[in-house]
Amino acid sequence: MPKVGVIAVGQSAFVRAYPGSIRELAFEAFKDALGGSGIKTEQIDASVICSAPEYDKQRTPAGLVAEYLGLNPQPTFYVESVCSSSSSGLRTAYALIASGLHDVVMVLGFQKMSEISSAESQERMGRGADIQWEAPFGTMMPAYYAMYARGHFEKFGTTEEDLGLIRLKSSTYGVVNEKAVFRKSLTLDKIMEPKYIATPLKMMDCCANADGSSCVILASEQKAKELCEKPVWIRGLGMATAPINMAGRDTFSGLKCAQLAARRAYDMAGLGPKDIDVAEVHDCFTIAEMMAYEDLGFAEPGKGKELIRNKETYKEGRIPVNVDGGLLSKGHPIGATGGSQIRTIVLQLRGAAGPMQVPNAKIGLVHNIGGVGIYGNVSIFSVD
Amino acid sequence: MGFEQFGIVSFTSTTKAEKFVDLLKEGKVCGTACKSCGAKFFPPRSDCNACLSDEMEWFDVPGVGDLITFTQAMYAPAGFENDVPYILGVAQFDDGVKVFGRLDKSLKEENIKPGMKMKLKVVDLDNDRLSYVLTQA
Ligand SMILES: [Zn+2]
């Protein structure tokens, strides 16, 4: 397999309501990625634009974004897998480069969740599930993940406080991440306030909506070495899917798509969970991070709670996870989230993560899930 | 047309599986079984992804199942606001059939436990609509 490297990463601040249009929001991440990199717009051979279309008023945003970034007449198109759209974008860009079709490809993810009114957003929320067989019952994301939380509690004895500890860790790092939407310091008492959204998940178990954008630029081995002093190489890409309908799921204590995606990514990289120095996992809800510990093999099934109780996933621990605050603190602008996770790992591997830096991080992993375990993307990166 | 009568809020009106609603009217909650290879589906499918046949027959979801997981929703999407709180869950029945849906309103959250024996019941809703719920067996 030819080598493909990440040569630039960027991200907008994640905010409640971005005071501009989607093209301007996309530009923020693009400018952050290109600024100081020495890469010029005309060196980008193609762009892959990612968002979740139910939040966009603009039809076919790829064309609009490419024009605003000055990326005409190069090829551009749109890739979507809801919350994991920009990881699917990474997979697409990798294939475009590994095939020899292009040398330099940009993945730009964005979401302006405030583009639509809260009433419209409420209406769309109900359509995130199978609209024929599930949405007629009144379904929403927190309720689905809550059923997984109950499944995990029942099978393994995990508690609400274990999930609270995950939020506590997240807030520790959200405080120091200048691009996070939620930067308040939290106490376990505050986190454990019984404000239930869908039992057993409480307010603080859930991430916030946000507006934001992310940008990842990839290149072939030769171009990466020409254009970048410290390329970060893609070592493994795993993707897997599971039935959208809950009636098709065989377990409620882990996400099958993540387990399979992890195995494929580890196999491609020739690495295992013990080799990972730092990880970004899809913590749209605290239970999602708990399951990720186990689905990625950082802990045996049911032992994820020991990791967080012993602070093993803190920056100083055995396997630091989401030391940028994760989705819980950064916010979750759907189409931008995967690219933001990739950016964090690239900065970590370059030693450029500032107060969030994990010392000597050489191999990093991104776990990015679309829907409630419909799409699972696991990507592994290393400095050499 | 006809499928829009299913559920509290409908998002789609046309499906080849709309006989599901006629069967609900007869008090039956049914899945489909492939006449060619015998594969069983719930929710019902009109096409068999195992053998590509579109010859299906309807079967009653077998009597008593086990509740696998559940949640009580305290907030709801648009159109369901008046129902909160309500309980959603998944139950496992024989022949590998799993069913997702609401739990009977008469069940209190504190009395619900995974492993509880459940059966399906057809419920009439306002405005000539109907659905099914999981209720204690
Ligand atoms: Zn068949």
- Residue A221 CB coordination number (10 Å): 15
Q: Would the pLDDT of B57 be above 90?
A: yes
Tell me whether residue A332 is one of the annotated catalytic residues. Answer: yes
Q: Are A172 and A301 in a shared domain?
A: yes
Stretch A130-154: mean pLDDT, rounded? Answer: 95
Stretch A243-251: mean pLDDT, rounded? Answer: 94
Stretch A348-374: mean pLDDT, rounded? Answer: 97
Q: Would the pLDDT of A17 be above 70?
A: yes
Q: Would the pLDDT of B25 be above 90?
A: yes
| Domain assignment present for A124 | no
**Which one of B6, B11, B101 has the shortest CB-CB distance to A127?**
B11
pLDDT tens profile B81-117: 899 999 999 999 998 899 999 999 999 999 999 999 9
| Domain assignment present for A352 | yes
Residues 6+ apart with CB under 8 A from A213: A11, A12, A25, A26, A27, A28, A29, A30, A108, A109, A110, A111, A333, A336, A339
Taking an 8 Å cut-off on Cβ atoms, the answer to whether A198 and B99 are in contact is no
Shortest CA gap B88–chain A (Å): 8
Q: Would the pLDDT of B1 be above 70?
A: no
Q: Are A169 and A283 in a shared domain?
A: yes
For chain A, what is the radius of gyration of the CA atoms?
19
Q: Are A24 and A38 in a shared domain?
A: yes
Q: Would the pLDDT of A171 be above 80?
A: yes
Q: Are A289 and A162 in a shared domain?
A: yes
Q: Give the active site residue among A152, A282, A332, A367.
A: A332
Q: Are A264 and A291 in a shared domain?
A: yes
Residues 6+ apart with CB under 8 A from B124: B130
Distance B61 CA to ligand 1 centre (A): 18
pLDDT tens profile A51-77: 998 898 899 999 999 999 999 999 999
Q: Which residue has the higher pLDDT, B10 or A85?
A: A85
**Which one of B12, B43, B68 has the shortest CB-CB distance to A151?**
B68
Q: Are A370 and A334 in a shared domain?
A: yes
Q: Would the pLDDT of A126 be above 80?
A: no
What pTM was estimated for this model as a whole?
0.97
Q: Are A105 and A177 in a shared domain?
A: no
How many domains are there within chain A?
2
Domain encompassing residue A96: 4-117+210-232
